[in-house]
Structure 1
Amino acid sequence: MKTKNPLLYVGLIATLIFSAGPLYFMLVMASRANDEIVSLPPPLWLGGNLFSNIDRVFANEDVLFGQALLNSLLVATVATVCVVVTSSLAGFAFAKLKFRGRNAMLLFVIGTMMVPVQLGLIPLYMLMTKLGLNGGLESVTLPFIVAGFGVFMMRQFAEQAIPDEMIEAARVDGASTFRIFFSIVFPALRPAAAVLGLLTFMERWNDFLWPFLTLDAEHPTVQVALSRLSSGYYSDQSLIMAGTLVGTLPLVVVFIVFGRQIIGGIMEGGLKA
């Protein structure tokens, strides 16, 4: 029997501490009063003000944190579903369907990933203004229902995970392209779709710059609401930490719910590589 290396466990424990440390520190700060946070040395244990600080976050009428949570959940969910569906369809088409200009179109999709997001803010703002969508949640949802990275990722996974013989057998049986996709291709792409879904949800949930530019005061997202908590001449650090804690919980829940499929997709992709 092979002896287990104790250094492996030391490394794992150190990784856990460094990874969970900031989350624990945020929880401690959110449970303390503001004067306790700024004191030296800083507190290391949970206090008794966690729920009162959270209540103050939701009671702040200038921030609209409850509506911001719902807005971010709606935007992130819609964008995630759309990106997973469109990327799976396009990835399947680029990987398994033969059509003229396929390679050129794929290169164009990859090329969109090389353009910095900041360069597209002004044209995108002008486009949303002409469409009359600035200020509403549509302006932070519609531009992100398709992702070049998602198309490339699903194309690479479909190329390796789906045998050509399986598709040809389905065609011989009379299945249409969409029937092949929904019955054969998408179930095989599910691990990669889970990984892409998590990455997309996190990206849209944590997006700040574009929502800050385009949304009005009545339609904030979580990151915009958090920026309002920290604005002004006086910053209540306990209030900011409590809002950050609440804004982080949905990401933790999503990872817990889909963690098994996500890890399975990463491991399967690593084995195929």
Structure 2
Amino acid sequence: MPTAAMFVAGAYFLLPVFWLVVSSTKSAADLSSTFGLWFSDNQLGRNLDRTLSYGDGVYLRWLANSALYSIVGAAAATLLSAMAGYALAKFTFRGRNATFSTILAGVLVPPTALAVPLFLMLAGVGLTNSIWSVLLPSMISPFGVYLARVYAAASVPDELLEAGRIDGASDLRVFFTISLRLMAPALVTVFLFQFVAIWNNFLLPLIMLTSDRLYPVTLGLYTLNTQLTRDPGLKSIVVTGSLLSIIPLVLAFLALQRFWRNGLAAGSVKD
């Protein structure tokens, strides 16, 4: 029974992906006139060519923008989360618990509530309609700080840190040479979560950007979708572009899942 329930749940979640694959092989006319969950004439090659060449290759520019925002933003957020979480877990200072509680409260704040304040702040320093207007907010992850703090407290033994300090290593060197390695599984999780969140982000670029050359793929496809009433032929480009846009997410997960291990610190400290 549990296996059957999991199979049904898996099929339910994969059904939209299957529809997207099937629809990417159809022409714009076939999308409206054929059964949505089965193939007709294979037009995938033509659809790919139209998508990649549309607007002098603007779709490739959107993909590159999404890659830039996601990789740089997720990497910076992971490093900052690791440093903040490690400090909260391994150092005692006044206001530590209050600081952690404030960060934890930030997890509960929906991004939509922060969109307008962020716009006003960045507009005040002239950073709207630039890559920084998307990158800077993406570098902060309250959930990442929370996860890094919990994992650092559980997986980084104090004895190892003391041994490093006795050998003459500074706290910064101990962090980068010892603690980061032990926190790797949590940091991979933070990176993947933040990468997916930035890649799928729509509201922030919509508010911050006016130049279509800076659009991520989500906002770019949205602008094409709004033009369907004027040009129905764009429907196949939107569908094929949507399929292409999920491939980097799948590749990122497949490439990083081997680092998703627990117990890297096992055996490093003897009782």
Specify if TM > 0.5: yes
Residue 213 of structure 2 is aligned to residue 218 of structure 1? yes
Equivalent of 1:174 in 147, 168, 171 = 168
Deviation, 1:102, is 1.1
Question: Secondary structure of 1:141's partner?
Answer: helix
Cα contact 1:27–1:46 (8 A) shared by 2? no
The answer on whether the counterparts of 1:137 and 1:219 sit within 8 Å (CA) in structure 2 is yes
Q: In 2 relative to 1, CA 46–21 (structure 1 residues): closer, same or farther, beyond 3 Å?
A: farther
The verdict on how the C-alpha distance between 1:85 and 1:46 changes in structure 2, with shifts beyond 3 A counting, is farther
Q: Deviations over 1:162-189 (max 9, x none)?
A: 1112212222222110111111111011
TM-score (norm 2): 0.89
- The one-character-per-residue Cα deviations of 1:46-80 (angstroms, maximum 9, x if unpaired) are 64211211221222219821111000100100111
With the length of structure 1 as denominator, give the TM-score of the two structures: 0.88
Aligned to 1:58: 52
Structure 2 equivalent of residue 255 of structure 1: 253
Q: Which runs of 5+ in 1 are unaligned?
A: 1-6, 269-273
Q: Is the CA contact 2:62–2:220 (under 8 Å) kept in the aligned structure 1?
A: yes
**Mapped partners of 1:106, 1:50: distance in 2:** 50
CA contact (8 A) 1:91 1:155 kept: yes
1:228 aligned partner = 223
**Corresponding residue of 2:269:** none
Q: Residues of 2 paired with 1:169 and 1:39: CA distance?
A: 70
Q: CA separation of 1:75/1:12 partners in 2, compared to 1, >3 Å: closer, same or farther?
A: same
Q: CA deviation at 1:261?
A: 2.3
User: Which residue matches 2:268?
Assistant: none
Q: Does the aligned pair in 2 maintain the 1:63–1:225 contact within 8 Å?
A: no
SS of residue paired to 2:165? helix
Q: After the TM superposition, which parts of structure 1 deviate over 6 Å for at least 4 consecutive aligned residues? A: none
Pair 259,46 (structure 1): closer, same or farther in 2 beyond 3 Å:
farther
- 2:114 & 2:186 partners in 1: Cα distance? 28
Across the two proteins, how many residue pairs are aligned to each other? Answer: 260
Whole-Å Cα distance in 1 between the matches of residues 195 and 223 of structure 2?
22
What's the counterpart of residue 88 of structure 1? Answer: 82
Percent identity of equivalent pairs: 29
The corresponding residue for 1:76 is 70
Structure 2 spans left out of the alignment, 5+ residues: 265-271
State the distance in 2 between where 1:208 and 1:147 align.
17
Task: Name the CA shift for 1:47/1:192 in 2 (closer, same or farther; >3 Å).
Answer: farther
1:88 & 1:125 partners in 2: Cα distance? 27
Q: 1:42 to 1:110 in 2, by over 3 A?
A: closer
Q: Which residue of 133, 143, 147 corresponds with 1:153?
A: 147
Is the Cα contact below 8 Å between 1:37 and 1:43 reproduced in 2? no
Letter paired with 1:136 = S
Partner of 1:201, secondary structure, is helix
